[in-house]
Structure 1
Amino acid sequence: MSKKPLILVTNDDGITAPGIRALIEAMKTLGDVVVVAPDSPQSGMGHAITVNSTLHLDRVTIDQGDQPEYSCSGTPADCVKLAVREIMDRQPDICVSGINHGANSSINVIYSGTMSAALEAGIEGIPAIGFSLCNYNYNANFDAAKHYAKQIVAKALAEGIPKDVVLNVNFPDVPQKDIKGIRICRQAKANWIEEFDKRQTPHGKDYYWLTGTFVNQDNGQDTDEWALENNYISIVPVQFDLTAHHSIQTLNSWDFND
């Protein structure tokens, strides 16, 4: 009899966040689950790793499930590294990260701890998917996202994700009945127009809160932003090879002997 798929579950919102609890519940129907996730929120950490301080892992019980769960003091990328090197007795068949509270579409993938955990798994040669819901509310409804996450992971396990590719999946914040389907997309060209809200402590010391407005500069109908705005689930294949291959020929024309 073949073994059940071994599924590593992680996130960046913390091990108790409703999004990861929904994802764990969905993944338990597909295989054997191991959870390694941060002990506190790590949103916006990107691909940070811990190198100047110690890391701690604690076996925890959050729900009344039989899956092993570990709370990690480090970043999402740390969680994946520790899971692979210290906890799991074989390489997982897939790593799933999320379900994130808030979108990780377009340029947000650069800053995302959710997607960095998935990318770290990809670097390790593990098929990986990051899941995000376009709702930042802690008490958001994850029912539709949970349903489609199970469907997408089942398909990925059956078909295989292309080598050196990680999937970035975003769910629109609408009821399941209003989701029109799933679209394979490219990342929209967009950015944040950022400002810092400057304030002062009662002692007169300045401090800052980062704020900003998300601006989509892309009118294409093949982008993740278009899909989400039109109630489709977006899947963007991303890679950790950051080489701009199309520019190599241009740069080779530079004469560095001038």
Structure 2
Amino acid sequence: MQKRPLILVTNDDGITAPGIRTLISVMNEIGDVIVIAPDSPQSGMGHAITLDSTIYCDAVTIDEGPQLEYRCSGTPADCVKMAISEILNKKPDLCVSGVNHGANSSINVIYSGTMSAAVEAGIEGIPAIGFSLLDYSWNAKFDHLKKHIKSLALNVLERGLPDGVVLNVNFPKIAGDDFKGIKICRQARANWVEEFDKRVNPQGKEYYWLTGKFINLDRGEDTDLWALNNNYIAVVPVGFDLTAHHFLPSLNNWKL
């Protein structure tokens, strides 16, 4: 009898979010599942880790299922560290993060807690995938994503991933399973132009809400943004070596 893989599930929207509940149900079909996820939303936390305060991690039961679940007071990256070092005391065969309520395409991968959890697993040598849906609603529908999530997870378990690479998977927002297909993409070049909405509280103290506009600077048809805009599932292999290797020869010619 073939041993079932051990699968770690986490996210950044919190352990009760519909997206992670969908992901748990799919992973239960594939392997033995342990869930360690934030106890509250941690969107936009990037790869933050907790250094100056305590972390709590408690066993919980959210809904019926064979999975073991823990809610963690830390960040998504903390959750992965906690899983490996404390709860499991070993590395799982696969880590999946999400399904995020909202896309993590293009530059958003830098800010994403969902993807940072996957990257943290990748740093530890664990094959990892981050899943996101271009729908920010808490009541977003996820059932039509299940077969695609399962297929991608099985492929990673069977084939593995190169050292230093995790997958960033983004689903467009469409009605039903009407995806045109899957596109293997590069990350689009884009950025946010920030604006701060300045306000005054009842005590007369000024405060700010961060707002802004997302600007796509990339007109290529091989990008994750193009895929999402054209109803394809976007799959981007993401590396976490931030060295600008193409610039090393030029930098070596500087008179330093």
Question: Common fold, TM-score beyond 0.5?
Answer: yes
Return the letter of the residue paired with 1:95. Answer: C
Q: Please list the CA deviations of residues 77-113 of structure 1 after superposition, one character each: whole Å capped at 9, or x if unmatched.
A: 0000000011115321100000000010000000000
Query: Which residue matches 1:22?
Result: 22
Kindly state the Cα deviation for residue 56 of structure 1 after the two structures are TM-superposed. 0.6
Question: What amino acid is the match of 2:251?
Answer: L
Contact 2:133 2:173 (8 Å CA) reproduced:
yes
What is the deviation of 1:159? 1.5
| SS class of match (2:150) | helix
Structure 1 residue 3: Cα displacement: 1.1
For the 8 Å contact 2:145–2:177, the answer to whether it is kept is no
Equivalent position SS for 1:177: coil
Q: Which residue of 2 aligns with 1:126?
A: 126
Tell me which residue corresponds to 2:45: 45
Look up the SS of the partner of 2:177 in the other structure.
helix
Give the equivalent residue in structure 1 for 2:210.
Answer: 210
Query: Helix, strand or coil: the match of 1:178?
Result: coil
**CA separation in 1, counterparts of 2:164 and 2:144?**
28
Query: Matched residue of 1:247: which SS?
Result: helix
Query: Superposition pairs for residues 98-109 of structure 1, below 5 Å?
Result: 98-109=98-109
CA distance in structure 2 between the partners assigned to 1:145 and 1:42 by the alignment: 23
Q: Tell me the equivalent position of 1:58.
A: 58
The Cα shift of 1:155 comes to: 1.3
Letter in 2 for 1:225: L
Q: Which residue of 2 aligns with 1:232?
A: 232
After the TM superposition, list the runs of 4 or more consecutive aligned residues in structure 1 that deviate by more than 6 angstroms.
Answer: none
Per the alignment, residue 110 of structure 2 pairs with: 110
- Aligned counterparts of 1:66 and 1:24: Cα–Cα separation in 2: 10
Q: 2:186 aligns to what? A: 186
Native 8 Å contact 2:28 2:66 kept in 1: no
User: Would you say 1:139 and 2:139 are equivalent positions?
Assistant: yes
Partner amino acid for 1:73?
S
Cα distance in structure 2, aligned partners of 1:42 and 1:24: 19
In the alignment, the residues of structure 1 paired with residue 177 and residue 31 of structure 2 have an alpha-carbon distance, to the nearest angstrom, of 27
- Local SS of the residue matching 2:164: coil
How many residue pairs get aligned? The number is 256
- Give 5+ residue unaligned stretches, structure 2: none
Displacement, 1:220?
0.4
Amino acid in the other structure paired with 2:102: G
Is residue 3 from structure 1 mapped to residue 6 from structure 2 by the alignment?
Answer: no
The answer for the alignment partner of 1:173 in structure 2 is 173
Query: What SS does the corresponding residue of 2:237 show, helix, strand or coil?
Result: strand
Deviations 1:106-125 (A, max 9, x none): 00000000000000000000
Quote the offset at 1:144 in angstroms: 2.0
- CA distance in 1: counterparts of 2:147 and 2:228, whole angstroms: 17
1: CA distance, partners of 2:205 / 2:28: 49
Cα-Cα RMSD: 0.9
CA–CA distance in structure 1, aligned partners of residues 32 and 59 of structure 2: 17
Which residue is equivalent to 1:160? 160
Q: Which amino acid aligns with 1:198?
A: K
Superposition deviation, residue 128 in structure 1 = 0.3
Which whole-Å CA distance do the structure 2 matches of 1:193 and 1:90 have between them? Answer: 42
Task: Assess if the C-alpha contact under 8 Å between 2:83 and 2:89 holds in 1.
Answer: no
| TM-score where L is the length of structure 1 | 0.97
Contact preservation (8 Å) 2:130, 2:168: yes
- Partners in 1 of 2:162 and 2:176 — Cα distance? 28
Q: In 2, distance between residues paired with 1:244 and 1:176?
A: 40
- Distance (whole Å) between structure 2 residues aligned to residue 237 and residue 191 of structure 1: 19
Is the contact between residue 33 and residue 66 of structure 2 (CA under 8 Å) also seen in structure 1? no
Q: TM-score, normalised by structure 2?
A: 0.98
Letter in 2 for 1:139: N
Query: Is 1:200 matched with 2:186?
Result: no
